[in-house]
């Protein structure tokens, strides 16, 4: 339950701390006194819109902090799933601050969190019902969530939601693949056109570097031939060449090898040198024999090949390695096009199986809803009878529709205002007062399905008075017997009399500024406030007696 609420600089409230107990708390006061400011503060605390207009004039911020205590086991489990834990005393503090610059900050305990996280936590602790919620009841798009809330369909809905997500994803992928396949012929032509030049070129990794090195050599073929001829002659081809001198040196050493200890080693080393010279000379001989005309022809072929490569590089705007990558990529893309028909067939089968699974889950969900509708109609009838609507019947109608995110059902609540009349849409028949009581009936019958520790009702008494108002108050009080802490902003003396705690909101002036003050009333104060609501401007003895009687009656209810 909400045990305390600290408010600073919210509208007309400068600073106040309110303490609450269990049960039914009512807030009353003159129109414009600031009753709804308390509700606005609670809404801000729960992650509602952080409007700068809430900040008290002349102040730089607005701040609200709430303390929640005596949390039940189910709520604690849900909070733990969100990694939220009360302090060592079992208290959980939520706070929200809004600056004049429009920025807001939120805290859970001493940890700063996003407003969305604060909202997720607050939804487990408190439910705020305003006049706008009552008006939205006339919107049939809101009816299916109400039925699901009553039915407790969360587990079935989770199964359906997972299958719907899977089905829609397959539909998206299939549509995407079909769109690609429909353009496949054009894409194939483009790929084959690009690939033709690359495939025809038969490029090999490292080929460009080898060709460029060969081009340099072929361009200098004549110089290389002359130099090689001269070097060959010096090493091998002329009298007294290096080869002859080495041969003479080896023969000379052989003659003294017996007397010269290292002679054998030197002869071996010279033999090695001679072999090396012979090999070099052979290479030079081949180089010297290069035909200039043959070299020119070979150079033409190399230049032509390099030009082919250069043309492809310009066409694809990349380097040589990029050409190889582009070729491999185009080949893979061509394979993908060829395989798209098989992929489409596979996805079609997956989609069919996913649809069957989706419809199966939808049927279970619909069956749960139909069963819940029957129970809901019966419980609503009993609850509405207690709210002074004995002849009103609510019918929950389900109609089939194509699968969507919320299932395969459309729901609409119909109302029969009088016995024997055909049920018609709420939006066309129900008055504001009837809508308010129907919404309260829903809150009452769904309290077990989505339990929260605290419920706040802002002017649930719209359009009702007298006996009907008293029965509405009794229904609110009965909610507390289900373990719910209830707050109600009201203009009805009958409802206010039923509160276990009565808070009076009133305005006063101080130093030229208007302030809203909130005060807990004792019995005498309650009699006076109820008499004001009953009697208006001039509160006489009759109004005071009537107020005292209301309180006396309320104690017995």
Q: 3-state SS of 368-429?
A: HHHHHHHHHHHHHHHHHHHCCCCCCEEEEEEEEEEEECCEEEEEEEEEECCCCCCCEEHHHH
In this prediction, residue 381 carries a pLDDT of 86
User: In which residue are the tokens 């769109």 written?
Assistant: 179
Distance, CA of 438 to CA of 488 (rounded, Å): 16
In this prediction, residue 385 carries a pLDDT of 84
Q: Supply 264's token pair.
A: 């054998």
pLDDT higher for 267 or 457?
A: 457
What mean pLDDT do residues 374-398 have?
Answer: 86
28 strand-pairing partners: 504
Q: Is 238 helix (H, G, I), strand (E, B) or coil?
A: coil
Structural Rg of the chain based on CA atoms: 46
Residues with Cβ < 8 Å from 454, sequence gap 6 or more? 1, 2, 68, 125, 126, 127, 484, 485, 486, 487
What mean pLDDT do residues 181-200 have?
Answer: 73
Could you give phi then psi for residue 483, rounded to 5 degrees? 90, 15
397 strand-pairing partners: 412
pLDDT higher for 325 or 285?
A: 325
Distance, CA of 481 to CA of 206 (rounded, Å): 86
pLDDT higher for 554 or 288?
A: 554
Q: State pLDDT tens for residues 61-90.
A: 999 999 999 888 888 988 998 899 999 889
Q: Is 49 helix (H, G, I), strand (E, B) or coil?
A: coil
Asked if the model's pLDDT at residue 521 lies above 60, the reply is yes
Could you give phi then psi for residue 6, rounded to 5 degrees? -105, 130
In this prediction, residue 293 carries a pLDDT of 57
In this prediction, residue 315 carries a pLDDT of 85
Q: Is 47 helix (H, G, I), strand (E, B) or coil?
A: coil
As to burial, measured by CB atoms within 10 angstroms (0-12 exposed, 13-18 middle, 19+ buried), residue 83 is exposed
Q: Are 129 and 460 in contact (CB under 8 A)?
A: yes
Q: Supply 173's token pair.
A: 């992928």
pLDDT higher for 98 or 555?
A: 98
In this prediction, residue 223 carries a pLDDT of 67
Q: Are 398 and 373 in contact (CB under 8 A)?
A: yes
DSSP state of 142: G
Q: Which of 62-76, 171-185, 249-263, 428-442 has the highest mean pLDDT?
A: 62-76
In this prediction, residue 407 carries a pLDDT of 93
Q: State pLDDT tens for residues 288-307.
A: 666 555 677 777 888 888 88
Residues with Cβ < 8 Å from 91, sequence gap 6 or more? 3, 67, 68, 69
What percent of the chain lies above the pLDDT cut of 90? 25
- Distances 323 to 209, 311, 318, 495 between C-alpha atoms, Å: 14, 11, 7, 83
What mean pLDDT do residues 369-376 have?
Answer: 92
Asked if the model's pLDDT at residue 365 lies above 70, the reply is yes
The pairing of beta strand 104-108 with beta strand 513-520? unpaired
Asked if the model's pLDDT at residue 138 lies above 80, the reply is no
Residue 180 pLDDT level (bands cut at 50, 70, 90): confident
Kindly report the average pLDDT of the chain as a whole number. Answer: 83
In this prediction, residue 226 carries a pLDDT of 59
The length of the chain is: 557
In this prediction, residue 282 carries a pLDDT of 72
DSSP state of 83: T
Q: Is 470 helix (H, G, I), strand (E, B) or coil?
A: helix
Asked if the model's pLDDT at residue 273 lies above 70, the reply is yes
Asked if the model's pLDDT at residue 225 lies above 70, the reply is no
Distance, CA of 131 to CA of 152 (rounded, Å): 25
Name the CATH superfamily for 1-137+451-520: P-loop containing nucleotide triphosphate hydrolases (3.40.50.300)
Q: State pLDDT tens for residues 401-439.
A: 999 999 999 999 888 877 778 888 877 766 777 778 888
Alpha helices in 256-387 (DSSP H): 263-288, 292-316, 320-386
Which has the closest alpha carbon to 545: 557, 530, 555, 556?
Answer: 530
pLDDT higher for 266 or 5?
A: 5
Q: Domain ranges in the chain?
A: 1-137+451-520, 185-336
Residue 229 pLDDT level (bands cut at 50, 70, 90): low
Residues with Cβ < 8 Å from 411, sequence gap 6 or more? 140, 143, 144, 147, 369, 396, 397, 398, 399
In this prediction, residue 510 carries a pLDDT of 74
Residue 6 pLDDT level (bands cut at 50, 70, 90): very high
Q: State pLDDT tens for residues 7-34.
A: 999 988 889 999 998 899 999 988 877 7
Which of 144-148, 283-287, 346-350, 528-532 shows the lowest mean pLDDT across its residues?
A: 283-287
Asked if the model's pLDDT at residue 345 lies above 60, the reply is yes
Distance, CA of 455 to CA of 440 (rounded, Å): 11
Q: Are 69 and 91 in contact (CB under 8 A)?
A: yes
Residue 269 pLDDT level (bands cut at 50, 70, 90): confident
Distance, CA of 392 to CA of 418 (rounded, Å): 6
Q: State pLDDT tens for residues 459-498.
A: 788 777 888 888 888 888 988 888 889 999 998 999 999 9
Residue 509 pLDDT level (bands cut at 50, 70, 90): confident
Distance, CA of 430 to CA of 444 (rounded, Å): 19
108 strand-pairing partners: 94, 111
Q: State pLDDT tens for residues 87-137.
A: 988 999 999 999 988 888 999 998 999 988 999 999 889 988 876 666 667
Residue 363 pLDDT level (bands cut at 50, 70, 90): very high
97 strand-pairing partners: 63, 105
CA quadruple 302, 306, 309, 311: dihedral positive or negative? negative
Q: Supply 174's token pair.
A: 């299939």
What mean pLDDT do residues 268-284 have?
Answer: 77
Distance, CA of 124 to CA of 215 (rounded, Å): 80
As to burial, measured by CB atoms within 10 angstroms (0-12 exposed, 13-18 middle, 19+ buried), residue 497 is buried
Catalogue the E-assigned strands of 86-133: 92-99, 104-108, 111-113, 126-129
What mean pLDDT do residues 241-249 have?
Answer: 71
């Amino acid at each position: 339950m909400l045990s305390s609420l600290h408010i600073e600089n919210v509208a007309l409230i400068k600073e106040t701390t309110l303490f609450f107990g269990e049960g039914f708390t009512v807030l009353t006061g003159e129109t414009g006194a600031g009753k709804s400011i308390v509700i606005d503060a609670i809404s801000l605390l729960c992650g509602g819109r952080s409007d700068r207009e809430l900040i008290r004039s002349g102040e730089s911020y607005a701040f609200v902090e709430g303390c929640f205590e005596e949390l039940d086991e189910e709520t604690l489990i849900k909070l733990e799933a969100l990694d939220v834990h009360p302090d060592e005393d079992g208290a959980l503090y939520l706070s929200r601050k809004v600056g004049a610059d429009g920025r807001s900050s939120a805290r859970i305990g001493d940890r700063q969190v996003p407003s969305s996280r604060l909202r997720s936590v607050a939804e487990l602790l408190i439910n705020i019902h305003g006049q706008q919620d009552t008006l939205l009841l006339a919107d049939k798009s809101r009816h299916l969530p109400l039925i699901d809330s009553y039915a407790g369909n969360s587990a079935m809905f989770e199964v359906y939601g997972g299958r719907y997500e899977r089905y829609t994803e397959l539909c998206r992928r299939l549509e995407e693949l079909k769109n690609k396949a429909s353009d496949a012929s054009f894409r194939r032509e483009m790929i084959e056109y690009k690939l033709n030049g690359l495939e025809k070129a038969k490029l090999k990794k490292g080929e460009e570097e080898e060709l460029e090195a060969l081009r340099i050599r072929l361009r200098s073929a004549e110089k290389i031939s002359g130099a090689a001829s001269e070097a060959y002659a010096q090493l091998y081809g002329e009298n007294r060449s290096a080869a002859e001198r080495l041969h003479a040196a080896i023969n000379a050493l052989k003659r003294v090898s017996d007397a010269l200890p290292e002679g054998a080693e030197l002869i071996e080393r010279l033999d090695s040198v001679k072999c090396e010279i012979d090999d070099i000379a052979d290479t030079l001989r081949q180089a010297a024999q290069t035909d200039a005309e043959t070299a020119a022809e070979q150079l033409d072929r190399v230049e032509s090949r390099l030009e082919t490569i250069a043309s492809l590089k310009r066409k694809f705007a990349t380097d040589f390695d990029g050409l190889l990558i582009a070729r491999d990529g185009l080949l893979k893309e061509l394979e993908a096009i060829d395989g798209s028909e098989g992929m489409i067939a596979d996805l079609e089968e997956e989609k069919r199986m996913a649809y069957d699974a989706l419809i199966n889950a939808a049927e279970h969900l619909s069956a749960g809803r139909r069963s819940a509708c029957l129970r809901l109609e019966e419980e609503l009838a009993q609850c509405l009878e207690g709210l002074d609507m004995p002849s009103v019947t609510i019918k929950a109608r389900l109609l089939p529709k194509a699968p969507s995110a919320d299932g395969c059902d459309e729901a609409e609540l119909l109302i029969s205002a009088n016995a024997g009349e055909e049920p018609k849409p709420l939006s066309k028949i129900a008055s504001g007062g009837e809508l308010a009581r129907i919404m309260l009936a829903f809150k009452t019958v769904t309290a077990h399905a989505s339990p929260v520790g605290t419920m706040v009702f802002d002017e649930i008494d719209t359009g009702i008075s007298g006996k009907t108002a008293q029965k509405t108050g009794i229904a609110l009080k009965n909610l507390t017997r289900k373990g719910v802490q209830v707050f109600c902003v009201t203009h009805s003396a009958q409802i206010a009399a039923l509160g276990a705690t009565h808070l009076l909101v009133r305005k006063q002036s101080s130093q030229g500024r208007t302030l809203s003050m909130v005060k807990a009333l004792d019995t005498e104060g309650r009699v006076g406030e109820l008499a004001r609501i009953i009697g208006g401007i001039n509160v006489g003895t009759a109004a005071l007696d009537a107020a005292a009687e209301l309180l006396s009656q309320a104690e017995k209810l």
